[in-house]
Amino acid sequence: MKPNTSDIPDGLRDVDTPALICDLARLRTNISGMAAAAAAGGKALRPHVKTHKCPNIARMQIEAGACGITVAKLGEAETFADEGFEDILIANTIVGAAKLQRLIALSGRVRIAAAVDSVDVLQGMIDAARQANVRLEAMIEVDSGHGRSGIRHSTTAAALAEHAIRSGSITIRGILTHEGHAYRTAPARMAEVATRVSIRMAEIAQAVSSVTGACPVISVGSTPTAQAMLGRPEPTEVRPGNYVFYDASQCALGASPADCALTVLATVIARPSGTEALIDAGVKALASDRHPLYGHGFVLNDPSAFLDWCSEEHGHLHLGLSTFRPGIGDRVRIVPAHACTCANMHPQIMIADGDQIVDVWRLAARDRLT
* Tens-place pLDDT, residues 271-301: 999 999 999 999 999 999 999 999 999 999 9
pLDDT value of position 5:
47
DSSP-assigned beta bridge partners for residue 295: 291, 307
Give which of 343, 250, 354 is closest to 52, Cα–Cα: 343
Amino acid at 128: A
| Mean pLDDT, the chain, whole residue set | 96
pLDDT tens-digit profile of 19-68?
999 999 999 999 999 999 999 999 999 999 999 999 999 999 999 999 99
pLDDT value of position 168:
96
CATH H-level superfamily of 86-240: Alanine racemase (3.20.20.10)
Say if residue 3's pLDDT is above 90: no
DSSP of 270-296 = EEEETTEEEES--HHHH-S--BTTTBT
pLDDT value of position 9:
76
Say if residue 2's pLDDT is above 70: no
**pTM for the predicted model, two decimal places:** 0.95
Q: Quickly count: other Cβ atoms within 10 Å of residue 255's Cβ.
A: 20
Report the distance separating Cα 164 and Cα 176, nearest Å: 16
Say if residue 152's pLDDT is above 50: yes
pLDDT category at 1 given cuts 50, 70, 90 is: very low
**93 Cβ neighbours under 8 A, 6+ residues apart:** 114, 115, 116, 117, 118, 121, 141, 149
The percent of residues above 70 in pLDDT, for the chain, comes to 98
Alpha helices in the chain (DSSP H): 24-40, 55-63, 74-82, 97-107, 119-132, 154-167, 190-212, 226-230, 248-252, 283-286, 339-343
Pair 271, 327: CB distance under 8 Å: yes
Report the distance separating Cα 348 and Cα 39, nearest Å: 31
> Which carries the bigger pLDDT value, residue 8 or residue 23?
23
pLDDT value of position 309:
98
Pair 254, 187: CB distance under 8 Å: yes
Pair 114, 93: CB distance under 8 Å: yes
pLDDT tens-digit profile of 181-231?
999 999 999 999 999 999 999 999 999 999 999 999 999 999 999 999 999
Say if residue 6's pLDDT is above 70: no
Domain ranges of the chain: 5-23+250-362, 86-240
Say if residue 329's pLDDT is above 50: yes
Q: Decide yes or no: CATH 1.10.10.10 for domain 5-23+250-362.
A: no
Say if residue 335's pLDDT is above 60: yes
Say if residue 123's pLDDT is above 90: yes
pLDDT value of position 53:
98
Report the distance separating Cα 336 and Cα 342, nearest Å: 7
Say if residue 349's pLDDT is above 60: yes
User: Given strand 44-45, what is the order of strands in its sheet?
Assistant: 44-45, 237-238, 217-220, 170-177, 136-142, 111-116, 87-93, 69-71
Pair 71, 50: CB distance under 8 Å: yes
pLDDT value of position 7:
65
pLDDT value of position 279:
98
Burial class (CB in 10 A: 0-12, 13-18, 19+), 134: middle
What is the arithmetic mean of pLDDT over 89-116? 98
pLDDT tens-digit profile of 160-176?
999 999 999 999 999 99
Length in residues, the chain: 370
Q: Do domains 5-23+250-362 and 86-240 have the same CATH topology?
A: no
Say if residue 323's pLDDT is above 70: yes
